[in-house]
Structure 1
Amino acid sequence: MWNHPTAKQLATLPTFYSTENISLKDKVIYMHFFFGGCDWYVAEFDGEDAFFGFVILNNDLENAEWGYFILSELASINIKGFEIDRDLYWQPTKASNIERIKKCRLGA
């Protein structure tokens, strides 16, 4: 994985269920990973290897959804030398302010 988050960066993320009283549209997205037409938006972290957030695969906005995904699995993906990347310029943003999420059926 290009630009793997550091332990210090991961430690700043909200833990699982700590934002459960916040509506999905108001959840803050703290990290963004991407590859081709795929996006993984991070709202929470379990402190080990799992994230909770919003996922769009293959530009399929109809089937995009909130759920869990695993950092080590993202890091292991390598297709002909291409890897998932982390957006180094990402600023924490409410899900309702992210255009790609707003366009999705289950988004913000």
Structure 2
Amino acid sequence: MTAQHQFPAETNQSHRKNAFYPSVEEVASIPPLYATENTPAADKVVHLHYSVGRCDWYIAEVDPESLTAFGWAEVSPGCGEWVYSNLAEMEGLNAQGYVIERDVTFEPVRAGDVPRINGTPSDRSEYQYSAPLTAEDAERLGELLGLIMATCAEVSSGKTGLPTGFFLRSYTRDEAMDALGLEFLSHIAAGDSEVTAAGKAGGWLLKVTSESLAIAVEFRRSQR
């Protein structure tokens, strides 16, 4: 990308914390389209990370002229795959105020080392607690998380018409369970009661679900 060829103006800039497009220098370091086609998927290097809700895009190749990008994306829960996307179309998506954000702290990394891509739980070591959970606490936590997920699945089903099983399959994945558990425990650690923490964790899960579904619908519509 040259100084004469710049990214288009952002249409949703006011909804974002950071710029959607990377710098000219960052783009110059990303391989062009098809440059890594003979590289095993796990060994491809992903240079950019975009997300909204539980939707993620990890970019490995970019054509700065057409803004076509190739990388790993999970737009529907449990359906991650290597696909082509268009950065301009992604930037323009706005589903009820939800927009796709670029992770400006993301550093280039081998795809096989990204937890979301290789299927291992994300590193959430920033959450620290004063003592490990006892077996009784862990059993109680499991019961509470199950109740929160079941309640949220029913609410989401009522709003969308999709079966509750669709949401429960997404919620019961290890990564989702870990994230929900940590969300709940963070409120407990802050001094909230179980009831208050459960309500806040449920609200968080419903918000993430709404974001993911809204952007997934808009993304699928834009691909037609």
TM-score, normalized by length of structure 2? 0.43
Pick the structure with more strand per residue: 1
Q: Which amino acid aligns with 1:34?
A: S
Residue deviations 1:8-49 (CA, integer Å, cap 9, x gap): 322221001111221100000100000001000000011221
Instruction: State yes or no: 1:46 paired with 2:63.
Output: yes
2:91 corresponds to: 75
Q: Which amino acid aligns with 2:72?
A: F
Residue deviations 1:68-106 (CA, integer Å, cap 9, x gap): 0000111001122221100010011111101111119xx
Unaligned runs of 5+ in 1: none
SS in 1 for 2:112: helix
- Distance (whole Å) between structure 2 residues aligned to residue 46 and residue 86 of structure 1: 18
- Distance (whole Å) between structure 1 residues aligned to residue 97 and residue 26 of structure 2: 26
Count residues in correspondence.
102
TM-score, normalized by length of structure 1? 0.85
Give the alignment of 1:1-108 within 5 angstroms.
1=12, 2=16, 3-4=19-20, 5-48=22-65, 49-58=67-76, 60-61=77-78, 63-103=79-119
- Distance (whole Å) between structure 1 residues aligned to residue 73 and residue 116 of structure 2: 10
% identity of equivalent residues: 35
Structure 1 vs Structure 2 CA RMSD: 1.6
Q: Which amino acid aligns with 2:30?
A: L
Structure number with the bigger relative contact order (C-alpha 8 A, sep ≥ 6) is 1
Unaligned runs of 5+ in 2: 1-11, 121-224
Q: Give the greater-gyration-radius structure (CA).
A: 2
